[in-house]
Structure 1
């Protein structure tokens, strides 16, 4: 469960909590830093959510960040929120806050979150939901540590990932100790990927993950949006082949 950071470990991706248009009908919002409690430590992460306007005009929101009133109002100017997505078993904390503001939105969760998300919800499957299949493809991969749904917005050729690739920029890290830890984890720009502990967690699930990576490559994304760190504006296929060379 993340908690708001008392002091930022990363230089923020300003402006925060404001929609930034990436492509037609697709925006990102860089949120405030959070700290995840793990192994007795509070590990800092910059956050990012993605918004897609579907063909029917409804908004599809991926991994919503910690909200405030200004952010809610900015989202409302884009359209009516129809879908709220908790895309993996680590990204769910603010779903209830967003559902409270947008009670007509349908909540979708990664398998494994049933006991944590205390609002009406639907489990994500390994095929696209009928509500957005006309615009977005999806797959789900599971492991003992992480289950994640990945999404491909066809019109903009944008792949939307959460934690399967992390790409922290060392020059944005204020602490030299944390900068070294990120580099050792394997999740540092320009060679961002799943950190080594996550890679090891997929040892018994490599076949399924490899098949999903090949599907992502077949989608031929132009860009890849990530939840943590620098995202990829171009050369999406090459970045996938590089970031997942440990599984291909």
Structure 2
């Protein structure tokens, strides 16, 4: 995974951006991911949720700059650092070092993917309840053959936090070649969705995936924060129905 920054990102980077009461995003750098020579450019995004006790829940961390660390200190105390699927772990070690009192939580198979980069003990996110944040954040692990992605919902703000279950790349931020590739993969905005290759990894778990999507629709989210591309600011439940129409029909 290589790092960089270009027009696919969402400036300003590495700074808190409020999206709802007690919810922020941080847009991070561009990375390249995929099989060579077709490694696609991905903007990155972190989500921060603050509890009533000012405990901070850090979802899919982006790089921790000195200025971002100072901003984080102003809004609360980092208590939970979350790797939501097996390919979203890269910057977790630096957050763990910076906030040693925080607990790291990992989706299944992150340790396998990360090899030696994750060399410390951390509980896995394998169930829906039993977490310190249960009173304020809902947890939904969705297991597939390649990975488990863990989704989160903040009822107070009606904010659903996904990772790779929906990707939504804006055409204006892509070259013609990447626009074509994003369209072919089913992730071109405004009609983004679950990447077609990821759909295949859930082919044997379609009933479970459908049940999970129906649960998320039942939560009736207003907004959906995505790790890659333009996030969904309104009508979240309707966007879930659209994005997963291929599964729900």
Q: TM-score band, normalised by the shorter chain?
A: over 0.9
Aligned residue-pair number: 244
Mapping of 1:104-183 within 5 angstroms? 104-115=101-112, 116=114, 117-173=118-174, 175-183=175-183
Provide the C-alpha distance between the structure 1 equivalents of 2:145 and 2:65, rounded to a whole number of angstroms.
33
Mapping of 1:66-81 within 5 angstroms? 66-81=63-78
Provide the C-alpha distance between the structure 1 equivalents of 2:161 and 2:62, rounded to a whole number of angstroms.
15
1:70 to 1:129, Cα distance in 2 relative to 1, 3 A: farther
2:32 aligned partner? 35
Q: Say yes or no: does 1:247 pair with 2:247.
A: yes
Gaps of 5+ in 1: none
User: What TM-score does the superposition give when structure 2 sets the normalisation length?
Assistant: 0.94
> Conserved in 1, the CA contact under 8 Å of 2:82 and 2:105?
yes
2:193 aligned partner? 193
> Conserved in 2, the CA contact under 8 Å of 1:96 and 1:119?
no
Q: What SS is found at the alignment partner of 2:163?
A: coil
Q: C-alpha deviations, 1:27-71, integer Å up to 9, x for none? A: 001111111242454321000000000122110000001222222
Mapping of 1:7-18 within 5 angstroms? 8=6, 10-18=7-15
2:2 aligned partner? 3
> Conserved in 2, the CA contact under 8 Å of 1:28 and 1:48?
yes
2:204 aligned partner? 204
User: What TM-score does the superposition give when structure 1 sets the normalisation length?
Assistant: 0.94
Q: What SS is found at the alignment partner of 1:122?
A: coil
2:222 aligned partner? 222
Provide the C-alpha distance between the structure 2 equivalents of 1:111 and 1:24, rounded to a whole number of angstroms.
30
1:102 aligned partner? 99
Gaps of 5+ in 2: none
Q: 2:84 aligns with which of 82, 87, 96?
A: 87
Which structure's residues are more often helix, by fraction? 2
